[in-house]
Structure 1
Amino acid sequence: MAKKANHQEKKPLPKKPPSSSFPIGKLFLVTAVLAGLASFYVYKVLTTPPDLPELDLNQWWGPYPIDQQKDESIRPFKIEFSDVVVNDLRERLLHRRPFVPPLEDAGFTYGFNSNFLTRVLDYWQNSYKFKDREMFLNQYNHYVTKIQGLDVHFMHVKPKVSPDVMVVPLLLLHGWPGSVREFYELVPKLTAPRDDVAFVFELVAPSLPGAGFSQGAARPGFGPIQIAGIMHQLMQRLGHTKYYVQGGDAGHTVGSLLATYYPQNVLGFHTNFPTLTFSSRASLYVFLGSFWPSLVVEPELESRLYPLGKHVSHLLEESGYMHIQATKPDTIGTALTDSPAGLAAYILEKFSTWTNPEFRKAGDGKLLDKFQLTHLLDNVMIYWVSNSITTSMRLYAETMNKKMLAVRIDDIPTDVPTWGIKFKHELLFHPDCVLRLKYKNYVASSVVEDGGHFAAMEMPDLMAEDIFKAVATFREFHEANTPASSAQTVYDFTVKDLNGREVKLDQYRGHVLLIVNVASQCGLTDTNYKQLNQLYEKYESKGLRILAFPCNQFGGQEPGSPEDIFKFTKNRNVKFDLFEKIEVNGDEAHPLWKFLKTIQRGTMGDFIKWNFSKFIVNKHGIPVARFGPNTDPVDLEPYLEKEL
């Protein structure tokens, strides 16, 4: 019998899976592209400055209704510790409840030690001389003016100096929980003439709006940007279109904003809190530096920033107040407004721990190692009398919020020359390379191996010296970086006399000037010095001033020191004004001479040909004539008489 045929179908062989090399390679390619795009995006975000937010200088921040007639008057103000306020304060201190005893050996680590607080409050109640301190605080002139609906208080101190000493305006900005009281020991040091510089300061020290005697805003949204706008308007109202700024803590933030918003007006920014708190780039630099600190910070300063974990931990421990004030300022404000004991403990605890973190271990917080109790209570009294603790703390809520943080204000660069002084125990530390991410002309840092957050009160001598040094550097910066083409008159320039003191040519306003480069060993010296003396004696009473600039660029014929030049000119009975030796040609030419050559060009090129080239400048500061070395000074009389 035939076999049955096997009709079972063959199962198809399973298909071989496609090669995995293509999709994996494609995946790697896509991942690489996405990673590259993400990296490029992050790079652009970090390196592209955000736009400067608009600032409305007409916005009304005071209570409604809006004043229809703008009041720009400046009104005298007196700090007053009235009998009503003082008696109420003493009653509250007298009837305070007993404090909970501190833990054994706790020092200030749990906050203000209640045993020491009892001593502080007893002194405040029984030994603090209220009327004497009121007189002390009123020793300087105080004023109030209304700006954008707010009464803004400021202390205004003008130096008493001779007319030949230059006076420059300086805006002093305090922080929290400080006040204008921080500057009282600093004021006399900044307004007294010094041998090493040719200027002193006219000081404007406002209470930041909401703090001390300046009114707080009536509605939300009034943050450091708005305060900066008000501070600028205050300086404008006082007639200072250009000015210097010094600030720490909140004053640093406002001062930095002034430098960012008004670079044409702020001539220099000095800060004792040189940090970039609101910069994502700065945070990234600091974080990356923790892996290789020497790339970010000098070895001798490394311990101020690294190990990063240690400093972050300390910062978190000391910033609890900030979280409260940034979220619920009015709650804590209510408690402090009602209790002088609470207000004193809350404020003075910062003066201990922020001056030196090691002070926390002491039962008295070592407060009196650095400060006088009377001075500390002056500051507390300003908050108590003005009832401003709540409004002062609202600044944190207006600063540490999403809207303000999104602005990234510290990522917006400024060209204003900036100088920082870094005290050892300051709450934050940033290296110079980080600071230059914002401050493109960060000229220098002073590093101090002591001191803390309240430097103006703790170390006024050192602060004053550093401020003078910084502003002198700012002035040199502008002198070196002001192109001749941007100057309008000779009054835009500053020069130095033979003693190295700065002389702003603005002091010659209204005079006719004869500006000449001189030399002591030139064949033209005898004739020119003799005839320049004759011109000066004849026309000085009519307003002529001769400005002589020694120069050694022509045949090396002015090789001497300033002392040699002074002796040489004294022997010739020279009475006109002599300045330090300069260059008049080339890249190192003094900016004034670059300006003169630009306005009055030469016949065979603009460069100065030899010693005793002469420029006549009219009463408006404009160069109107130029004469070569071979023109004798007496031949200039017709031209001088025309201008005189």
Structure 2
Amino acid sequence: MAKKRNSKSKSEDDSYISTSSHSISSDESNSDYLRTIFIVLAVLCGLLSYYTYQCLTTPPPLPEINLYQWWGQYPIDRKAENTIKPFKIEFSNTVVKDLKERLFHRRPLVEPLINTGFSYGLNNNFLVQVLDYWHNQYNFKERENYLNSYQHYKTNIQGLDIHYMHIKTKSTPGVEVLPLLMLHGWPGSFREFYDIIPKLVTPNPKHEFVFEIIVPSLPGFGYSQAPARPGFGPLEAAIVMRNLMRRLGHERYYVQGGDASHGIGSIMATVFPGDVLGFHTNMPIVPFHILGPILTVLGSVWPRLVIEPQYEYRMYPLHYHFYRYLEETGYLHIQATKPDTVGIALTDSPAGLAAYILEKYSTWTNPEFNMIVDGRLLEKYQPTQLLDILTIYWATNSITTSMRLYAETFNTRHLSLKLDNIPTDVPTWGIKFKHELFFTPDFILRCKYRNYLQSTYVTEGGQFAALEMPETLAKDIFQAVAAFRTFWIKQQPLTLTSEESTTKRTIYDFSVTDLNGNVVKLEKYRGQVLLIVNVASQCGLTETNYYELNELHDKYAKLGLRILAFPCNQFGGQEPGTSTDIMKFTKHKGVMFDVFSKINVNGEYAHPLFEFLKSALPGTLGDFIKWNFTKFVVDRSGVPVERFSPSTNPSELEEHLLKYLRHYAQK
């Protein structure tokens, strides 16, 4: 019996073992299957991630362009004149009489709702005052003479008669004249630049250059002929502007623009980088860059990812700015889809034209004006300024053709070019007025503009900067162009022979840029002993070095010591701020020595001055600068004589400096 039980038990055990073996085999099979699935999914995720990365980072190719595409009426006139003809603005008696009759016989306007200001659109009570002034007080002949106070011309470009103002500057010894193309937006015109032009063509004691100004009317605006067929968008406008500058003999020049002309100027810098020396914009945006929306949304969770804390309010909270965009971009949707429909109403009614345009000059100057009965228009602008702009649109019957630019911008054809995703190396500078409708942080701008040099933040002002704040805009243009010129100096390769680096070259051969954007020739320091330092405001060495550099200046400036500090962000990102930020920091520290604009000291874009210093005084472990606060002593003849590491505090340099300072004092 025992044997049988044992036999049965053994049989059961064998059955159990067999079952267990089957189970183990099944588990291993399932494990292999899951491992295979996991590997396949990992590979697919990897491929998808790589594809997404490629889509986000690979720029599209430059579009094919036709520099000679004909935009005039058919048949093509192969003998179209290339001549430049003087042009005079004229408000003919016929135009003026018709306008006054329409103003006089206008229908009564509907009473506005109580206490609504401009929140429902332009307030009709205020509009009545504007129309009465236009009818009874606006002196058409006087304004015509005023508008002709600058020289106007026309020339035919690609079948279109293009109008432009050309303000030439008399040559002054020691002052270089630089060509500057200035482009208006919508609903602006060439008239916006009348107050800023004198500030740009008059020699500025802080700069060694002035400007020769070219201000065109964009095709379809004012006195420039409109294209005869569809397809004329910002790219085509950029080509016409480039061809105009070539017609005027300028192959290299600077470009300034905002609003719609930010897009045109940006395209010129992208497509014609060999022509554009620098691009200054008063609406620095990249609305169609693929990374823009992604980074903007991420920034709503972690704002410091994309924007400095002090400017966060200009971008977040996102819902506040979204509602403002929604409220203020109704015109854009109309003009991008049915410009000719609304154009009929505005062409037939001067009252309608005035309401449509002047409302923008209020709410885009400051959204807080929205609840004011007069929109504070006359607080910011003179009646003649606004009515000049209205009269130009009316006299030229160009409101419809001007609005078509939106239809040619927000369409599949133009958007498929992905021009905002094509990087440009042209140096770019932006000025950001507080109430500008659209805002893009520098972090996102640099996705497009590889050499985005700086943003100037203004605590007031809106979209119509040249008209509202000409002094501020002119100053910023000067500073930007000074920075552009320094940028190109730094791009020139510095090749020094051993003889040049030891005997023939001194620091007096170099120029630098101060925190205000002014070019400073180091010749001004001739005969003084110099201590040249690369600095940073957020380094662990900052506190000691700034304090002791100040002490050295205070102690030895009377003997001829000058300290030149150059902020640099190449070491741990410890100098991230703008020139304005650096200026505030140095003021807080009570800095008495000279501090210049931010530069690179190593690498491809190292400033030539530091290339020279490194060549003249190689370091112990290589010529390159190792960290913040490397120090160079330059004797009174401009020759670098000693180099000290970042770990050497300024107070330890006294005995070394005194060797040269005493020699200086005796001299």
- TM tier, shorter chain? 0.7 to 0.9
Is the 8 Å Cα contact of residues 83 and 155 (structure 2) preserved in structure 1? yes
Please state if 1:346 is matched with 2:356: yes
2:53 aligned residue (43, 47, 51):
43
What SS does the corresponding residue of 1:61 show, helix, strand or coil?
coil
1:69-127 CA distances to partner (integer Å, 9 max, x unpaired)? 24210111111111111111000000001111111111111111111111110010001
Specify the alignment match of 1:437 in structure 2: 447
Q: Following the alignment from structure 1 to structure 2, what is the Cα–Cα distance between the partners of residues 319 and 118?
A: 25
**Structure 2: where are the runs of 5+ without partners?**
1-21, 496-508, 529-558, 563-601, 617-635, 640-667
Equivalent residue in structure 1 for 2:229, among 211, 219, 237: 219
Give how far 1:24 is off: 5.8
Aligned length: 515
Match of 1:143 among 128, 144, 153: 153
Matches within 5 A, 1:629-644: none
3-state DSSP of counterpart to 2:287: coil
Match of 2:133 among 102, 123, 131: 123
* Contact 1:417/1:441 (<8 A) preserved: yes
Residue 395, structure 1, aligned to residue 405, structure 2: yes
**Residue 471, structure 1, aligned to residue 489, structure 2:** no
Q: Match of 2:286, SS? A: coil
Distance 2:66 2:205 in 1: 43
**What's 1:179 paired with?**
189
**AA at the equivalent of 1:396:** Y
How far, CA to CA, are the matches of 1:27 and 1:245 in structure 2? 57
Contact 1:93 1:121 in 2 (8 A): yes
Distance in 2 (CA, whole Å) between partners of 1:242 and 1:270 is: 15
Instruction: Indicate the SS of the match to 1:444.
Output: strand
Query: Are 1:366 and 2:347 an aligned pair?
Result: no
Equivalent AA in structure 1 for residue 147 of structure 2: L
Question: Is the counterpart of residue 155 in structure 1 residue 153 in structure 2?
Answer: no
Question: Structure 1 residues 103 and 593, CA, compared in 2 at 3 Å: closer, same or farther?
Answer: same
> Alignment partner for residue 236 of structure 1, among 239, 246, 265?
246
Matched, 1:170 2:188: no
Q: Secondary structure at the match of 1:162?
A: coil
Provide the C-alpha distance between the structure 1 equivalents of 2:612 and 2:300, rounded to a whole number of angstroms: 49
Q: Which amino acid aligns with 1:392?
A: S
Query: Which of 265, 272, 275 pairs up with 1:262?
Result: 272
Cα displacement string for residues 326-369 of structure 1 (whole angstroms, at most 9, x for unaligned residues): 01011111111111111111011000010111111111111112
Which secondary structure state, in structure 1, belongs to the residue aligned with residue 218 of structure 2? coil
Deviation at 1:483, TM superposition (A): 2.1
Aligned AA (1:476) = T
1:72 corresponds to 2:82: yes
Q: Distance in 2 between matches of 1:195 and 1:294?
A: 39
Q: Which residue of structure 2 aligns with residue 604 of structure 1? A: none
Contact 1:154 1:205 in 2 (8 A): yes
Contact 1:75 1:145 in 2 (8 A): yes
Alpha-carbon separation, structure 1, partners of 2:638 and 2:477: 39
Return the offset for 1:496.
Answer: 5.7
**SS class of match (2:331):** helix
**What secondary structure, in the 3-state scheme, does the structure 2 residue paired with 1:269 have?**
strand
- Could you tell me whether the CA contact under 8 Å between 1:263 and 1:416 is conserved in 2? yes
Q: How does 1:430-509 map to 2 (within 5 A)?
A: 430-483=440-493
Deviations 1:353-403 (A, max 9, x none): 101111111111111121111101111111111111111000000000012
TM-score calculated relative to the size of structure 2: 0.72
Shift in alpha-carbon separation, 1:66–1:163, aligned structure 2, 3 A: farther
- Give the secondary structure class of the aligned counterpart of 2:122: coil
Q: What are the superposed Cα offsets for residues 437-489 of structure 1, whole Å, 9 maximum, x if unpaired? A: 0110101110011000001100000000000011011111111112258xxxx
- How far 1:560 moved relative to its partner? 5.8
Matched to 2:48, the amino acid is: A
CA distance in 1, matches of 2:120, 2:470: 30
Tell me the equivalent position of 1:274: 284
Change (3 A) 1:300 1:95: same
Distance between the aligned counterparts of 1:69 and 1:377, measured in 2? 38
C-alpha contact 2:486 2:519 (8 A) present in aligned 1? no
More helix by share: 2
Contact 1:198-1:503 at 8 Å conserved across structures? no
> 1:162 Cα deviation (Å)?
2.2
In structure 2, what is the equivalent of residue 418 of structure 1? 428
- State the secondary structure of the residue aligned to 2:277: strand
Alpha-carbon separation, structure 2, partners of 1:65 and 1:148: 13
How big is each residue's C-alpha offset from its partner over 1:125-180, in whole Å with a ceiling of 9 and x where there is no partner? 00111111111111000001101000111000012342432100000000000000
| Cα distance in 1, alignment partners of residues 412 and 217 from structure 2 | 26
SS of 1:203 mapped into structure 2? strand
Normalised TM-score (structure 1) = 0.74
Pick from 185, 197, 209: which aligns with 2:219? 209
Taking the aligned partners of 1:23 and 1:110, their CA distance within structure 2 comes to 66
- 1:26 positional shift: 5.2
Please, which of 47, 59, 68 is the counterpart of residue 58 of structure 1? Answer: 68
Amino acid at match of 1:82: S
CA gap 1:501/1:325 in 2 versus in 1, 3 angstroms: closer
Alpha-carbon distance in structure 2 between the residues aligned to 1:221 and 1:450? 37
Structure 1 stretch displaced more, 342-351 or 22-31:
22-31
The separation in 2 between residues aligned to 1:355 and 1:101, in whole angstroms, is 25
Identity, in percent, stands at 58
Secondary structure of the 2:429 match is strand
Where 2:79 maps in the other structure, the secondary structure is coil
Contact 2:490 2:607 in 1 (8 A): no
1:321 paired to 2:331:
yes
**Partner AA of 1:133 in structure 2:** R
The answer to whether the 8 Å contact 1:168/1:202 transfers is yes
Distance 2:41 2:611 in 1: 60
Alignment partner, residue 382 of structure 1: 392
Paired position in structure 1 for 2:118: 108
User: Are 2:417 and 1:407 equivalent residues in the alignment?
Assistant: yes
The letter of the residue matching 2:61 is D
| Structure 2 CA distance for partners of 1:138 and 1:87, relative to 1, 3 Å | same
Q: Is contact 2:527–2:638 with CA below 8 Å preserved after alignment?
A: no
Give the structure 1 partner of residue 506 of structure 2: none
Q: How does 1:543-582 map to 2 (within 5 A)?
A: none
Structure 1, unaligned runs of 5 or more: 1-14, 486-493, 505-515, 522-558, 563-585, 598-609, 614-644
What one-letter code is carried by the residue in structure 1 that aligns with 2:64? E
SS in 2 for 1:153: strand
Q: Which residue of 2 aligns with 1:93?
A: 103
User: Per the alignment, do residues 313 and 589 of structure 1 end up closer, same or farther by CA in structure 2, a change over 3 Å counting?
Assistant: closer
Q: Aligned equivalents of 2:526 and 2:124: distance in 1?
A: 74
Q: Does structure 2 retain, via aligned residues, the 8 Å contact 1:144–1:152?
A: yes
Map Cα deviations across residues 243-281 of structure 1 (whole Å, 9 max, x no partner). Answer: 001000011111001110111111111000000011111
Rounded to whole Å, the distance in 2 between the matches of 1:200 and 1:227 is 27
SS at match of 1:202: strand
**Is the CA contact 1:108–1:361 (under 8 Å) kept in the aligned structure 2?**
yes
- In structure 2, the residue corresponding to 1:229 is in which secondary structure? helix
Give the aligned partner of residue 309 of structure 1.
319
> What's the CA shift string for 1:602-628, capped at 9, x where partnerless?
xxxxxxxx9899xxxxxxxxxxxxxxx
Gap change, CA 1:23 and 1:457, over 3 Å in 2:
same
Tell me the SS of whatever aligns to 1:399: coil
RMSD: 3.5
The answer to whether the Cα contact below 8 Å between 1:161 and 1:193 also exists between their aligned partners in 2 is no
Q: 1:127 to 1:592 in 2, by over 3 A?
A: farther
Say yes or no: does 1:333 pair with 2:343: yes
